[in-house]
């Protein structure tokens, strides 16, 4: 009967089918028989080198260097001389044994890390002996190499990616580097590129013998992009040396393009200290320094009162709002009573009568107090006056983020009428209440980069371009990203103020900033500042500040220098700014005496004063 045979037929049929398939796989298939000795596959990522970083002139700032992680595969370890090993690696016995134990607990088969980022030289000596230690091997990695040890604040740094940052989309793996701060963070994606994978064929002794299936399943890495910065490495380096032993910041911008030429903060750190085995130790030193704050970028994050340079903006707004004309004169008697029993001091001599230009180059408090009173009180209400004034300032990029391509920054502060309504109640305040704003003290706060930016707007006679740090944009990107941001001031008003600023350097408060053959326009500032010391409001030495641009008629550089507790503007900030301008425009500095004075000058004693616990005097 046919029924009895059906299942048997199936069984016998399957038997033949399977034997046939086994024959084709094991005996006749050239592909599998060729693989007969080497059938294991190992997957390895291929990393594109992290993108290099150049300055605006093509000077290499950041490159890559090989470092070596010492890895171990516990399965392959054979008895070895532990003492020799730990001496060679300069690691304590306890630490070494602990790491080894951890590695064994993690996996016998998979590699674990023993020591991270051993430098090339240290590795070389150990490499000769590594045959004595089966199971241990070096894994090459690329770390950053800071060819020029400058601009650590704006370059940022890289470190190993954290487990919680890894997800499927970003495709990071443990041990890979990620940009943490500055340029490294902003442009992480283009600097990183895209990793690929190679599958390797291994033989039965686990040796790699070639690509798996001729690389048919490999994925190619996408190479990273090199980055050209707007920074001028020489100028940056010069600025950093000028701010040595001082605290503060320098921001230099090319007004016509918005490109940042230098962004200096002091104190800073050597970026190379964050590479290699000592990284974590060095990093915690930087983080824990809460007094000098080396990781705090004073150029971007420090909000100071702008001081006298702010008078230039008030002058422009006064002209635009027709509160003053260039010819308007105000009388100053070493200051003036702006209201009953309230006297604002000024260093103009008794009985002087200043017009606008003279008001600027003598930095006359009286002149700008009266201008500001006019701005606020001539409006329908003081509230409208303040809001109109704020509107002007916002157009200069104040009171908000500028939108540059670094991950940190501060908004600064420009008060509006609501702010004063809350503070003084509605209708209970007027121009005299908030008179300090006239001379850049008061409630107004700006960061150095915002000041450099409005200086650039003045230099451009009415517009600024968003400051930025990457130069290698395509023309299309440039056109869309970097449009002219116009202020509400008509161009003719700028000429008067710029003339005033020119006179500041020629005959005013910053004669020290004069450079032979270059017309510099600037404005000094001496900013009063207070801190809480033992729960008491204490005044410290004034901040020294200077804004400038040059040449006057065809501005190539706009600069802001801020030196904390440097006393008056002409003392530190103006000379430093002047040296920077000279260096940038001529390539050399001829005033060696001034250069040496600035390079060698130190304010460290000044900074120690409030910490000493002893009574101290300021502004010496």
Partner 1 sequence: MNTTNLFLENRLRSMNKKLIFRLDWLSIFLYIALVIFGMINIYSTRLSESDIAVWDLGSPVGKQLWIFVFCLIILPAILYIKSNFFEHLSYVFYGLSLLSLIGLFIFGQTISGATSWYLIGGFSLQPSEFAKITTALVVASNLSSLQTDIKKKLHLAKVLFLISLPMALTILQPDAGSALVFLGIFFVLIREGLDLRYLYLFMGLLLIFILTLVFDPFLISISGLFLIFFFYLFVKRIAPKTKKLSFLISFGICILFSFSVNFIFTSVFEQRHRDRFNIILGLETDTRGIGYNINQSKIAIGSGGFYGKGFLNGTQTKGDFVPEQDTDYIFSTIGEEWGFIGSTLLVILFTLFILRILYRAEKHTATYSRVFSYAFASYIFIHFFVNVGMTLGLVPTVGIPLPFVSNGGSSLLAFSFMLFIYLNFDANRLNT
Q: Which residue ranges make up the site for partner 1 (CB under 8 A)?
A: 2-4, 6-8, 10-12, 14-15, 17-19, 21-23, 25-27, 29, 31-33, 35-37, 39-41, 75, 108-109, 202-204, 206, 217
Structure tokens at 244: 């040595």
Smallest separation (angstroms) from partner 1 to the CB of 79: 18
Counting Cα atoms < 13 Å in the Cβ hemisphere of 79 gives 0
- Using the minimum distance from each CB to partner 1, give the nearer residue, 35 or 408: 35
- Using the minimum distance from each CB to partner 1, give the nearer residue, 195 or 331: 195
For every residue of 339-361, DSSP letters joined together read ETTEEEE--SPTTEEE-HHHHHH
Three-state DSSP class for residue 447: coil
- Using the minimum distance from each CB to partner 1, give the nearer residue, 4 or 322: 4
Smallest separation (angstroms) from partner 1 to the CB of 166: 21
Element at 457 (helix H, strand E): helix 448-459
Q: What is the rounded distance in angstroms from the CA atom of residue 455 to the CA atom of residue 577? A: 13
- In the beta sheet, which residues pair with residue 524? 546
Pairing of strands 248-254, 335-339: unpaired
Structural contact between residues 280 and 160, judged by C-beta atoms closer than 8 angstroms? no
Structure tokens at 567: 């006393």
Smallest separation (angstroms) from partner 1 to the CB of 215: 13
Q: What is the rounded distance in angstroms from the CA atom of residue 235 to the CA atom of residue 537? A: 38
**C-alpha 582 chain-centroid distance:** 24
- Using the minimum distance from each CB to partner 1, give the nearer residue, 9 or 531: 9
- Using the minimum distance from each CB to partner 1, give the nearer residue, 18 or 350: 18
Smallest separation (angstroms) from partner 1 to the CB of 197: 10
Per the listing, tokens 């804004």 go with 547
- Using the minimum distance from each CB to partner 1, give the nearer residue, 32 or 530: 32
Q: What is the CA radius of gyration of the chain?
A: 33
Smallest separation (angstroms) from partner 1 to the CB of 135: 15
Q: What is the rounded distance in angstroms from the CA atom of residue 365 to the CA atom of residue 369? A: 6
Alpha-helical (H) ranges within 289-330 are: 298-301, 310-320
- Using the minimum distance from each CB to partner 1, give the nearer residue, 217 or 423: 217
Smallest separation (angstroms) from partner 1 to the CB of 57: 46
- Using the minimum distance from each CB to partner 1, give the nearer residue, 17 or 342: 17
Element at 228 (helix H, strand E): strand 227-228
- Using the minimum distance from each CB to partner 1, give the nearer residue, 32 or 350: 32
Smallest separation (angstroms) from partner 1 to the CB of 467: 47
- Using the minimum distance from each CB to partner 1, give the nearer residue, 31 or 536: 31
Smallest separation (angstroms) from partner 1 to the CB of 227: 34
**Crossing angle, helix 592-600 and helix 233-242, to 10 degrees?**
60
Smallest separation (angstroms) from partner 1 to the CB of 1: 9
Terminal alpha carbon distance of the chain: 121
Smallest separation (angstroms) from partner 1 to the CB of 8: 6
Structural contact between residues 115 and 141, judged by C-beta atoms closer than 8 angstroms? no
- Using the minimum distance from each CB to partner 1, give the nearer residue, 202 or 293: 202
Q: How far is CA 223 from CA 57, 216, 220, in A?
A: 23, 20, 9
Smallest separation (angstroms) from partner 1 to the CB of 96: 22
Q: How far is CA 457 from CA 300, 542, 581, in A?
A: 18, 26, 17
Q: What is the rounded distance in angstroms from the CA atom of residue 222 to the CA atom of residue 241? A: 39
Smallest separation (angstroms) from partner 1 to the CB of 214: 13
- Using the minimum distance from each CB to partner 1, give the nearer residue, 35 or 77: 35
Q: What is the rounded distance in angstroms from the CA atom of residue 108 to the CA atom of residue 72? A: 9
């Amino acid at each position: 009967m046919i029924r009895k045979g059906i299942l048997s037929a199936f069984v016998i049929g399957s038997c033949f089918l399977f034997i046939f398939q086994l024959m084709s796989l094991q005996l006749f298939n050239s592909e599998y028989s060729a693989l007969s000795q080497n059938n294991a596959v190992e997957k390895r990522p291929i990393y594109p080198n992290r993108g290099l970083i150049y300055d605006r002139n093509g000077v290499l700032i950041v490159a890559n260097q090989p470092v070596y992680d010492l890895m171990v595969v516990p399965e392959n370890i054979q008895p070895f001389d532990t003492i020799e090993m730990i001496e060679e690696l300069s690691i304590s016995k306890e630490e070494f044994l602990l790491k080894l134990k951890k590695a064994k607990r993690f996996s016998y088969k998979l590699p674990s890390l023993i020591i991270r980022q051993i430098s090339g030289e240290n590795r070389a000596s150990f490499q000769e002996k590594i045959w004595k230690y089966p199971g241990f091997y070096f894994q090459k990695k690329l770390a950053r190499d800071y060819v020029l040890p400058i601009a650590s604040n704006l370059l940022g740094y890289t470190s190993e990616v954290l487990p919680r940052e890894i997800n499927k989309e970003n495709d990071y793996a443990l041990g890979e580097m990620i940009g943490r701060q500055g340029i490294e963070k902003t442009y992480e994606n283009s600097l990183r590129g895209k990793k690929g994978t190679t599958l390797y064929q291994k033989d039965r002794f686990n040796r790699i013998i070639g690509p798996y299936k001729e690389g048919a399943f490999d994925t190619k890495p996408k190479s990273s992009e090199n980055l050209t910065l707007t920074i001028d490495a020489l100028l940056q380096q010069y600025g950093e040396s000028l701010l040595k032993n001082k605290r503060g910041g320098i921001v230099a911008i090319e007004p016509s393009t918005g490109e940042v030429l230098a962004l200096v903060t002091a104190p800073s750190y050597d970026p190379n200290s964050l590479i290699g085995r000592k990284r974590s130790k060095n990093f915690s030193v930087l983080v824990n320094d809460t007094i000098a704050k080396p990781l705090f970028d004073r150029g971007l994050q420090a909000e100071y009162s702008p001081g006298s340079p702010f008078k230039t903006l008030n002058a422009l707004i006064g002209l635009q709002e027709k509160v003053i004309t260039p010819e308007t004169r105000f009388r100053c008697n070493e200051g003036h009573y702006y209201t009953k029993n309230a006297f604002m001091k000024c260093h103009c001599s008794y009985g002087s009568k200043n017009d606008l230009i003279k008001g600027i180059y003598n930095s006359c408090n009286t002149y700008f107090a009266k201008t500001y009173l006019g701005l606020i009180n001539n409006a329908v209400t003081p509230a409208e006056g303040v809001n109109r004034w704020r509107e002007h300032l916002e157009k200069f990029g104040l009171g908000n983020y500028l939108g540059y391509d670094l991950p940190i920054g501060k908004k600064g502060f420009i008060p509006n009428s609501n702010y004063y309504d809350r503070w003084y109640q509605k209708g209970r305040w007027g121009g005299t209440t908030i008179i300090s704003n006239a001379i850049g003290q008061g409630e107004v706060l700006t960061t150095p980069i915002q000041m450099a930016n409005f200086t650039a707007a003045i230099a451009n006679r009415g517009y600024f371009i968003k400051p930025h740090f990457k130069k290698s944009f395509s023309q299309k990107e440039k056109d869309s990203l970097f449009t002219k941001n116009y202020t509400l001031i008509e161009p003719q008003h700028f000429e008067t103020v710029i003339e005033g600023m020119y006179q500041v350097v020629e005959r005013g408060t910053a004669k020290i900033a004069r450079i032979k053959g270059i017309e510099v326009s600037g404005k000094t500032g001496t900013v009063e500042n207070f801190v809480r010391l033992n729960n008491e409001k204490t005044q410290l030495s004034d901040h020294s500040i200077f804004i400038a641009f040059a040449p006057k008629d065809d501005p190539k550089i706009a600069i802001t220098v801020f030196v904390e507790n440097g006393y008056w503007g002409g003392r530190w900030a103006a000379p430093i700014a002047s040296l920077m301008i000279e260096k940038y425009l001529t390539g050399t500095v001829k005033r060696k005496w001034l250069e040496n004075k600035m390079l060698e000058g130190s304010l460290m004693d000044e900074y120690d004063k409030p910490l000493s616990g002893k009574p101290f005097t300021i502004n010496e």
